[in-house]
Amino acid sequence: MPSLLDVEERAIKVVKEAGEVLQCDLWKALNVSSREGSRIALRLERKGLVKREPVVYNKRATFKLVWVGREAEVGIEVDDCPCFSCSSIERCAPGQALSPGSCSALTKWLLQEAASLEAAA
């Protein structure tokens, strides 16, 4: 999952603390334009963090943002990291002959994880 922007993190905090919030109230709380507020809400919905429900408020159509109760996930399972089963882990350190920066097994694993994250996005 792509990383959250600072404004998205602030939006999550607002929605999470309230449980649900009108989209127009979120814009005001974040001090952003309605256009930017709509984009933030859409990004959070795409990431599965909130649900947008259409409502009428003061005779105007808007959305209610509802917290769905899940945290943002990094998406990498570190259980498969080759470092945990490496026989040379005791000698491996940055700047040494054996280091994470020059480890082909670690590099291959990281590239595979990055590719699967990109495919999932």
Q: What is the pLDDT of residues 9-21, one digit of tens each?
A: 899 999 989 989 9
**Are the C-beta atoms of 91 and 102 separated by less than 8 Å?**
no
The mean predicted confidence, pLDDT, of the chain is: 85
* pLDDT confidence band for 84 (50 / 70 / 90): confident
CATH topology of domain 6-67: Arc Repressor Mutant, subunit A (1.10.10)
Amino acid occupying residue 75: G
**Token couple for 62:** 């808007």
* pLDDT confidence band for 121 (50 / 70 / 90): low
Q: What is the pLDDT of residues 20-77, one digit of tens each?
A: 999 999 989 999 998 998 999 998 888 888 999 999 999 989 999 999 866 545 556 7
- DSSP collapsed to 3 states, 75-94: CCCHHHCHHHHCCCCCCCCC
Residues in the chain: 121
Domain-wise residue ranges, the chain: 6-67, 78-120
pLDDT of residue 22: 93
